């Protein structure tokens, strides 16, 4: 009887920990996706700033 209670405890705890593992994996995937999106937006902004001229010409004319 003692063996079965230990076995049940180990199995129950392993299921609980596997839930934590799934949450960690999803968090890692979400962090990677958000970081990739942030880098893409910054790169696109830098390219747009390089291609589109600023309004500095108006200030130089004055």
Helix (H, G, I), strand (E, B) or coil at 62: coil
Helix (H, G, I), strand (E, B) or coil at 1: coil
- Residue 2: Cβ within 10 Å count: 6
pLDDT at 33: 93
pLDDT at 61: 55
Span 2-60, pLDDT tens digits: 888 888 888 888 887 777 778 888 899 999 999 999 999 999 988 888 888 776 655 55
pLDDT at 42: 93
């Amino acid at each position: 009887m003692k063996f079965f209670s230990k076995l049940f405890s180990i199995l129950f705890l392993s299921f609980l920990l596997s839930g934590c593992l799934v949450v960690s994996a999803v968090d890692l995937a979400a962090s990677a996706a958000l970081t990739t999106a942030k880098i893409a937006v910054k790169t696109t902004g830098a390219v747009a700033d390089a291609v589109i001229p600023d309004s500095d010409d108006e200030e130089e004319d004055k």
